[in-house]
Structure 1
Amino acid sequence: MSKRQQNKEERMNRIIEQAEVLFLQDGFERVQMQDIADASELGVATLFRYFPKKDQLIVAAAVRNLAPTLDAFKELTSRPGNAYSRLEAILDYLLDQQVKRTSHSRFREAFESYASSVASPLPGIDDYIELQREIMETLEPLIADGKTDGSLRSNLDVKATVVTIINAFGTFGNNIILKSHISYLEDDIEPLIQQRVLREMLLSYVRP
């Protein structure tokens, strides 16, 4: 990569990073392109050369936010071991992310809510959808092994079950963590306890 191209990549990454911070802090609607330009230490005209529309930048920030999940799933699903142990590892990863990276989860929930509420598809949303598809594709080796290695119940629709478990656990965990400050919870059923209970319920369902 040439020095010029490297500088361009670094500038774009800085723009997206600063945009994500501002979007999470102030909301997608309130943040103006001038705010992002100021935070990125760029002129607003330069910013518009990279992202002609704010919605393009919103999607770029969402893709950046989701990308580490793809890398993590690739590593987890390629580990040695049977399908059950890898599914267990994925749930543990999601639980850890929910506990440690609440801003990460809050951004994703806010983005998906925003994207679903606009009148027409966001420009570049196909990139986000494609990334989600790639994440699901990393589950194929786990699913294939789950049909043959005996670590999952033999009467399951393995693909439907694995995908549902991961989606349900991720959605529940994000929801209960993000809303914990406005929801009444008894001391002995705090969010982490409920997440662990759900984890065990889901894993016990697939065990032979």
Structure 2
Amino acid sequence: MDPQSRWEQERQEGKNKRMKIIVEAAEQVFSIQGFEKTKMQDIADELNLGIATLFRYFPKKDKLIVAVAVNVLERYYRFFTDVAAKDVTCYEKMEMLFNHFIADLEPENLACTKLLEAFESYASTSLDELGDYQQYILIRKKVADILTEIIEEGILDGSIRTDISAKDVLLSIINAFGLFSRKLSLFERIPFFEDELDPNVQMIIIKGIFMEYIKAK
């Protein structure tokens, strides 16, 4: 590699590293203050960074919002990829995915779960302003592709019922379970009535129903 190419590569790597630091800091601020209330100055202050420097990397707050959402979803993609690579049956992999969504309701994971749900709500009313939203769509497709890969293995390994449309049913179940998990995360600070079920208990019960339904007879 010639000196000019090496310099350009190092420059790009430095830029990517700085952008990653900004995105991670923004995620923390958005988690606490929300998308609407957060100002770019708040994120610059969190990083002890000049506002002009921040705008050089992210000219609009909406671009940073999308980058944060993509960063969160990439963590799901890495987990799904790890599950897909395990040498176990599709049925066991589905249980791992269910358990992952249940774990999203643990205190240490709530901020991330709530942020993803908040982004979907924000995007539904601000889609025209989210110029980089396609990046989020692409990472969601990658997650769906990995899930499809897991399901197709289940059709072959005999661990999933063969009298149902496995792909349609399992995709619907995982989507519903994940959405329910994220919805429950929004009620974390709302007091429940004495006779209401704890969110984790609700998730475990629904997981059991789904697992029994898809299991090969």
- TM, length-normalised to structure 1: 0.91
The 8 Å contact of residues 105 and 200 in structure 2, kept in 1 or not, is answered as no
The reply to whether residue 96 of structure 1 matches residue 103 of structure 2 is yes
Q: Once the two structures are aligned, what percentage of the paired residues are identical?
A: 36
Aligned match of 1:84: 91
Q: Distance between the aligned counterparts of 1:72 and 1:140, measured in 2?
A: 14
Alignment-mate amino acid for residue 193 of structure 1: V
- TM, length-normalised to structure 2: 0.88
Q: Distance between the aligned counterparts of 1:112 and 1:30, measured in 2?
A: 16
Aligned match of 2:51: 44
Alignment-mate amino acid for residue 115 of structure 2: F
Aligned match of 1:178: 186
The correspondence of residues 158-197 of structure 1 with structure 2, limited to 5 A, is 158-186=166-194, 189-197=197-205
Cα distance, 1:185–1:164 mapped onto 2, change above 3 Å: farther
Aligned match of 1:143: 151
Q: Which consecutive aligned stretches of 4+ in structure 1 deviate over 4 angstroms post-superposition?
A: none
- Displacement, 1:7? 3.1
Aligned match of 1:112: 120
Cα distance, 1:165–1:6 mapped onto 2, change above 3 Å: same
Q: Distance between the aligned counterparts of 1:172 and 1:133, measured in 2?
A: 20
Q: Distance between the aligned counterparts of 2:195 and 2:84, measured in 1?
A: 35
- Displacement, 1:52? 1.0
Aligned match of 2:207: 199
The 8 Å contact of residues 127 and 133 in structure 2, kept in 1 or not, is answered as no
Q: Secondary structure at the match of 1:147?
A: helix
Q: Distance between the aligned counterparts of 2:38 and 2:31, measured in 1?
A: 10
Aligned-residue CA RMSD in angstroms?
1.9
More deviation, 186-195/88-97: 186-195
Alignment-mate amino acid for residue 184 of structure 1: F
